[in-house]
Amino acid sequence: MPELERLRADHAEAVLAFESANRAYFAMSISDRGDEYFETFTERHRALLAEQDAGIGAYYVLVDDDDDDGAVLGRFNLVFVGDGVAELGYRVAQRATGRGVASAAVRDLCVLATSRHGVSTLRAATSHENVASQRVLLNAGFVEVGPADPSDIGGKQGSWFQRDLVPAAGSGTPSSSSSRSPTRRRAPSTRFPSTSRVNGWP
């Protein structure tokens, strides 16, 4: 079964392979990163680890346990914006789509967000045309809470989705109740470009 792992220095080669193999696929729905991203990948990876160490965010990779080389199937990021709120971003390999991999990983990340990082609210923005990302969020217990500024999602029209991670009574499992509109804050400049905040990144 695929497993979420906190981003480490030794993930660099697998993450670069993931980004390279899926570059054309991701470019179908988001702006291409450009050659510079790949040419300076080592420095960018180090910068992400430094951000993580500084508490700016928590960055995860979804590793294929069935692959002897530990291939990366997806990237799932939390960027902390204050007051117990984090913004979620993710992207999943083309070969892993349509199998419920993204929804399962987002649900697992919800548990980690509250138990490991003290997050009480997760939010993500996705474009109206990105039906797949909307479905992932809804399947993971998020609800739509209002329009997103186009600047948050690559100039496209879209919506914010939110999930309040309040442990259900006696279960220790985050609930999916949500009623507040998110307060946007600018994400760190090293975040990945995104299909949405859901699929997006340093």
As given in the structure block, the two tokens for residue 111 are 């548990």
Query: Considering only the top CATH level, what class is 3-164?
Result: alpha beta
pLDDT, position 152: 82
CA pair distance 101, 116, nearest whole angstrom:
21
Q: Domain residues of the chain, as ranges?
A: 3-164
- CA atoms 75, 1, 6, 105: torsion sign: positive
Global pTM reads 0.83
In the 3-class helix/strand/coil scheme, how is the chain assigned residue by residue? CCEEEECCHHHHHHHHHHHHHCHHHHCCCCCCCCHHHHHCHHHHHHHHHHHHHCCCEEEEEEECCCCCCCCEEEEEEEEEEECCEEEEEEEECHHHCCCCHHHHHHHHHHHHHHHHHCCCEEEEEEECCCHHHHHHHHHCCCEEEEEECHHHHCCCCEEEEEEECCECCCCCCECCCCCCCCCCCCCCCCCCCCCECCCCCC
As given in the structure block, the two tokens for residue 167 are 């442990």
Q: What tens-digit pLDDT sequence spans the chain (202 residues)?
A: 899 999 999 999 999 999 999 999 988 877 788 999 999 999 999 999 999 999 999 999 999 987 777 899 999 999 999 999 999 999 999 999 988 999 999 999 999 999 999 999 999 999 898 898 999 999 999 999 999 999 888 788 999 999 999 754 444 556 544 333 333 333 333 333 334 444 444 5
Burial code of 27-42, b = ≥16 C-beta within 10 A, e = fewer? eebbeebeeeeeeebe
Q: Are 94 and 19 in contact (CB under 8 A)?
A: no
